[in-house]
Structure 1
Amino acid sequence: MIREFIYKYYIDPIRYGQPYTLVDTLTYALILLACIWLLYRWFEKNKIIIDRNFVYALIPWVVLGGCLRVVEDTGLITSDLHVFFTTPLIFFLIFAIAFPTLYIANILEKRGTIPSWKKIFGGTGLFLTLITLSFLVWFGITKAHFDILVASRILGIAFGTTAILYAVIKYGFGWKYVQDRLYQMLIFGHMLDASATSYGIDLHSIRYSEQHVVGSALINLTGTAFVMFPLKLIVLIPGIYILELYRREGASGIWYLILLAMIMVGLAPGIRDMVRMVLYV
């Protein structure tokens, strides 16, 4: 019975690309929280300062995760190795590359070999992202489609909705702290995710589908994927408020990690969905 449960809710959805269920969604959320806490404790033990420069250095790795996910969407990986490029295993793949890079760069800084491990770490993530994007552009031009207008439309919706939400929060609610660049990145990441999902399901010539359980249920209920925007508002606005309360209590390190995780779960799928729509895969 346990074996059947594991295959039904964890192994088969990864193997066959099935939509998420409530069971695996909650499981992965708990795993993410546990990983954040364990990483926080490890960083504290090794005296690694978690600040905004740390978050900035990790953003290229978040983008890399979204781009590598598209590599699997192209279908070029025909062996069983393709499962490592699917969610949630791709998070462990990125971690397996990023963590040793971080560790080595931090040691080199302590030895005085390099001036800043964060710059080396972030630069490595950016370099790998550019390589992956170059491959995807090559694939789109030579083997599939490459419609840059799709990206411009999705980005246009994302920037527009980000500006509106930012204005509402800052001037309507009076939350001046939303001027923080990290909060702005958080808003944009989730607006990009909502924009890509809405465009892909309602407007793209290929009708994509929503795999997450809550989003899928609301889309089926309302008949439009643009319901993702109010869904994001329900999560983002209270989330920003609670995050700011948490920061004022002085827990800056864990605050940065939680904020990074929230940026990641919006930005990474948003990047992935937008790029795959540009390539029509």
Structure 2
Amino acid sequence: MDDLFDRIDPEKAWALVVAGLALAGTLGSLLFPKQVYDQWIWKYYWGPVAADGNGAKCAVRESGDVTYYSDSAQCAGASGIVAEPGYTVISTISYALLLVLLLAGVYFLVERLDIDAKVTALYALFPWVLFGGALRTVEDASVALLSATGDPAIPFPWTAAIISPFIYVTVFLLAVIAITASVWLERDGRVDRWERPFGAAGAVLFLLALGSLVYLSVTTDAVGFNLGVLVVTVLGATLATALAWTLTEEYWPEVNVGTGTVGLLVVWGHSIDGFANVISLDWSDEFGLAYDYDPKHVVNSGIQDATRAIQPESVSDAIGVTWPFIPVKVVAAVLVLWLFNDEILEESPRYAVLMLLAVLAVGLGPGTRDVLRATFGV
């Protein structure tokens, strides 16, 4: 058995897995359309994207036809296959596996290009995570414009490219192009380190996405601007990160030995997600938000339900039921950083960087989207 595993090329195995999944989905949809496409692919993946892209409460597929409803009662009474925007347990697990698959692809690309990746490369990857969250918010703004005027900023199905799970592929392809060009610039002697042009490319893309949101907020009534949400979220996340750093340095310094100050990015990213969720879900009236947001992730819903069941109703009315999300996110990030000791970073620096990227992405990515949605009222 050991000899068999020794003969398997991981890169080829990854390519076979990707090709196998694509082939299975294609053949299954052709041979068993009702069981595979309707009840699986459409219900859990394409249906939610279509509903989101069309600004509907749900999309209903029946006898091959799709109908979009803007009323929750119509969705509840629909007789076909109902798909709502957001995430289910199945789609959440699937997207997590997709993220792992994409990260494995990045790892093989880094190995093939023989890229010298250190833990400090996370600084260059940081703006790319911000870009992913901002790009997803552009689609939210497009839907808001569709609801207000009947004309979206980006028509469906083109918006599918910036809705989960397809946005992962979009950002992945752009990052592959950028990192390949950046490595070429380094080896051609045009730059000292590939991280600089790569990070700059991510920063430019993030600013373009953010600029699009600002443009829509200035030129349309469908997109607003609430500076208070942005300031409180960033300030709160920064204070929480500083507190976490101070406490770990004082009482548990082993946490920061491996990653050093780079770990601050990870904690800050998850703190952004925590504060953005609390403000959006429990303090929307106090901040004058345009919408009453609902949790789209099963973890958020679970924390809300658990807090509501344990916490006295009077306390819930006063401070809400999502506040535990902040300490949960911060503590989880700190615990993950504790795993990245000197040994791991020295023996497998490329692998460690990609794992840190994954940890950062699952916090800062949705956190960026949440805070920008609330800030621009979409």
- TM-score w.r.t. structure 2 length? 0.69
Structure 1: 4+ residue segments shifted above 4 A = none
Which residue identity does 2:263 align to in structure 1?
Answer: Y
Whether the 8 Å CA contact 1:246–1:255 is kept in 2: the answer is no
- Measured after TM superposition, the shift of residue 233 of structure 1 is 4.4
Shift of the alpha carbon at 1:237?
3.4
Which residue does 1:93 correspond to in 2? 170
2:107 to 14, 19, 40: 40
Give the whole-Å Cα distance in 1 for the aligned partners of 2:171 and 2:345.
31
Mark the runs of 5 or more structure 1 residues left unpaired by the alignment. none
Distance 2:252 2:50 in 1: 45
The separation in 2 between residues aligned to 1:168 and 1:270, in whole angstroms, is 24
Task: Tell whether 2:278 aligns with 1:278.
Answer: no
Tell me the secondary structure at the aligned position of residue 160 of structure 1.
Answer: helix
Of residues 153-162 and 110-119 in structure 1, the stretch that sits farther from structure 2 once superposed is 110-119
Question: d(CA) in 2 for partners of 1:243 and 1:32?
Answer: 20
Counterparts of 1:248 and 1:97 in 2: how far apart (Å)?
Answer: 27
Name the CA distance, whole Å, in 1 between partners of 2:251 and 2:191: 46
The code of the aligned residue for 2:299 comes to V
Question: What's the offset of the Cα at 1:246?
Answer: 6.1
Alignment of 1:110-259 (within 5 A): 110-143=187-220, 144-175=223-254, 177=256, 180-205=260-285, 206-223=291-308, 224-233=321-330, 235-244=332-341, 247=344, 250-259=347-356
Deviation at 1:70, TM superposition (A): 1.0
Q: Indicate the structure with greater helix content.
A: 1
Q: What CA distance in whole angstroms lies between the structure 2 residues aligned with 1:174 and 1:261?
A: 23
Q: How far apart are residue 44 of structure 1 and its match?
A: 1.6
Amino acid at match of 1:2: V
Task: Report whether the alignment pairs 1:13 with 2:19.
Answer: no
Query: Which deviates more from structure 2 when the two are superposed, residues 245-254 or residues 215-224?
Result: 245-254
Q: 1:139 to 1:99 in 2, by over 3 A?
A: same
Q: Secondary structure at the match of 2:324?
A: helix
Task: Label 1:159 to 1:112 Cα distance change in 2 as closer, same or farther (>3 A).
Answer: closer
SS at match of 2:323: helix
Count of residues paired in the alignment: 281
The amino acid across from 2:127 in the alignment is: P
AA of the residue aligned to 1:215: N
The answer on 1:81 being equivalent to 2:164 is no
Distance (Å, rounded) in 2 between the aligned partners of 1:246 and 1:229: 30
Determine the structure 1 residue equivalent to 2:29: none
Unmatched segments (≥5 aa) in structure 2: 1-34, 53-84, 143-152, 286-290, 309-320
Q: Relative CO higher for 1 or 2, CA cutoff 8 Å, sep ≥ 6?
A: 1
Structure 1, residues 141-196: CA drift from partner, whole Å, max 9, x if none? 33232121221111122122222222232223343626712211100000000000
The CA distance in 1 between the partners of 2:331 and 2:366, in whole Å, is 18
| 1-structure distance, mates of 2:342, 2:196 | 30
**Residue identity opposite 1:79 in structure 2:** F
- Alpha-carbon distance in structure 2 between the residues aligned to 1:106 and 1:174: 35
Bigger shift: 195-204 or 24-33?
24-33
- Please give the root-mean-square deviation of Cα atoms over the aligned residues, in Å: 2.1
Shift of residue 38 of structure 1?
2.8
The answer as to whether partners of 2:237 and 2:275 remain within 8 angstroms in 1 is: yes
Structure 1 residue 114: Cα displacement: 4.0
Higher-Rg structure is 2
Deviates more, 1:91-100 or 1:239-248: 239-248
Query: Quick one: percent identity of the two aligned structures?
Result: 28
* Residues 120, 262 of structure 2: 8 Å contact kept: no
Asked whether the equivalents of residues 267 and 334 of structure 2 are also in contact (C-alpha less than 8 Å), the reply is no
